[in-house]
Amino acid sequence: MKTDYSKKATNQEIKERFDVDVERFSNLETGQQTTIDAPLTMELCTEAAKYANPQAANLLDIGCGAGNYTLKMLSKAANLNCVLNDLSMPMLQKAKERVSAQTTGTVTLIQDDMRNLDLPDNHFDIVLAAATLHHLRDDDDWELMFNKIYKALKPGGSFWISDLIIHESALINKLFEDKYDSHLEKLGGPEYRKKVMDYVHYEDTPRSLNYQLALLAKAGFSSIEVLHKNSCFAAFGGIK
């Protein structure tokens, strides 16, 4: 039986929330503080991409926000051609401004739902998706995206994900929800915790790490790696 997602946020609502939060998301320390170990997972994903694809020329950043992950990648791999995708045009404009200053490669913006991306086959060396796949809804959406990304990568290209996850055991899921609640409360108190959890519950439909690792395998990735996991966040990916 299909899950009813009708009470979840629409793309327009998600876009509108991010449209007005560009400056915060332009700063790693403030923009991603709700993500446990954000600096570490960014470092690991981009370092893995550098090691997997040392001669990379073409990068795709899905749900790029203000461009933090692409900027980190450019600090390790110079002058990449960068394709930046996001729902929010203000985010994309900020990302282009920041990224263009760090590469002599082309910078292309795509404002669209990631599910609508029309990508060339065997083109990208690196695909990054940070804190974005959790907006996908049903199984068809998830499988579509993993297959789309696999086809768009060159042989030997790599796909790295850093995201919110759930756990398949309800008891273990509760354990890590409680730990995340504590993390948020330490950051900003009970009101801040409630604010963050309210939009997580309204906007997000994350899947488990096991689910996504299985999707990587099903899509055809030959080398699948977990780089890091802490509470309800993980960094992982695969090489085509």
CB 236 within 8 A of CB 213: yes
Tell me how long the chain is: 240
3-class state of residue 169 by DSSP? coil
pLDDT of residue 30: 53
Q: Which structure tokens are listed for 227? A: 């780089």
> What domains appear along the chain, each with residue ranges and CATH number?
11-239 (3.40.50.150)
pLDDT class for 17, splitting at 50, 70, 90? confident
For residue 161, what are the CA distances in angstroms to 61, 126, 144?
10, 11, 16
Rounded Cα gap, residues 220 and 144, in angstroms: 13
What is 195-238 written as a DSSP string? HHHHHHHHH----BHHHHHHHHHHHT-SEEEEEEEETTEEEEEE
Q: How far is CA 186 from the centre of its chain?
A: 24
Taking residue 139's Cβ as centre, other Cβ atoms within 10 Å add up to 13
**Closest among 155, 162, 153 to 59, alpha carbons compared:** 153
% pLDDT > 90, the chain: 81
* pLDDT tens column, 74-130: 999 999 999 999 999 999 999 999 999 999 999 999 999 999 999 999 999 999 999
